[in-house]
Amino acid sequence: MKEGRSKILHREFIRGIAITSFVFLAVATTPILGSIGLIFIPLPILYYYSKLGRTQGLVVFFASLLVLVISYKFGDSKVNLPFFFLIGSLGLILSEILRKSYSIEKTVFHSTVALLTLCFAVLIYYNVKTGRTPWGLIEFYVSESIQENIRLYSQLDISSEQINLIKENADQIRAGIISLFPALVLISSSFIVWLNILAGKLIFPKSGMWYPDFGNLACWKVADWMIWFVILSGGLFLVVAGMIKIVALNLLIVFLFIYMFQGLAIISFFFKKKNVPEFIRIICYFLIFGQQFLLLLVVGLGLFDIWLNFRKLDKKMKQHPA
């Protein structure tokens, strides 16, 4: 019995390294796939770290990073190893926090804080190594990312006029991104955490693995008093100037991002109520995140739900399983 179990674990161990390495390489070598696939880099690590245990899970993670480094060592390009280490580490973080059976809010919050703390530690490391300030490193990274995107767009079917427009406004784009960097980092990290939690919620039960029960997420809503933060930050953004205006805008973006989740919960609620097929739901979600106008409508749904109560939530409905 133990020998059979050992063989299964051994097979799963090798499979974990192979799948995680494949995901790393696919994201690193395919620009178009990489922009989407990078979001789910933590998922195979989360899965195999939870399934195989801490020791073998860590070996899967670092062995996959080693495969990535070796593959690029024999190529002409360089791999952004710190990025893959950071985003991959989220799989380890999520596995540890999910074991504590927190609520969905605490799970997302603690995972995001842990990831950002790790990012800050890496910044401090490079600060000591290069002598650049953490903010200077961020500015350098933003500039490099803009140039990398310009190179990527030049390889795609995008008109030269549009590419030249980006080049001409590169400094303004860089300044805008840097001023909103705190909000952008916070919401992107939270969003990646949230997506991987939902993906795990689908995959783990199908593999017979334990996963925390977050209840009916379609009935999730923001506390009513949170609206005052939206009003305050929005008001400050409109009436003040300088650094306070930038801080207010960052806060406003973060609070609207939270209400986006409430808007998505409302949409999910009505999808379930009307028994909308899964493939149509997926198409709708892709359209929402692909079109800024639709995303703004989702945020509006979350905001106005405070007064209109679109789902007519009651205790009975809240107790229904997700």
Q: Could you tell me the end-to-end alpha-carbon distance of the chain, in angstroms, rounded to an integer?
A: 37
- Tens of pLDDT, residue by residue over 200-240, are 999 999 989 999 999 899 999 999 899 999 999 999 998 88
Number of C-alpha atoms within 13 angstroms, CB side, residue 15?
Answer: 10
Amino acid found at 185: V
- Are 218 and 320 in contact by the 8 Å Cβ rule? The answer is no
Q: Which pairs from 246-252 meet CB under 8 Å and 24+ separation?
A: 246/179, 246/180, 249/179, 249/180, 249/183, 250/180, 250/182, 250/183, 251/183
The mean of the pLDDT values for the chain is 86
Mean pLDDT of 143-166: 73
- Are 85 and 47 in contact by the 8 Å Cβ rule? The answer is no
Banded pLDDT at 50 (limits 50, 70, 90)? very high
CA distance 116 to 85: 13
Banded pLDDT at 268 (limits 50, 70, 90)? very high
- Are 309 and 204 in contact by the 8 Å Cβ rule? The answer is no
Residue 204: both structure tokens together? 């783990």
Res 139: pLDDT = 82
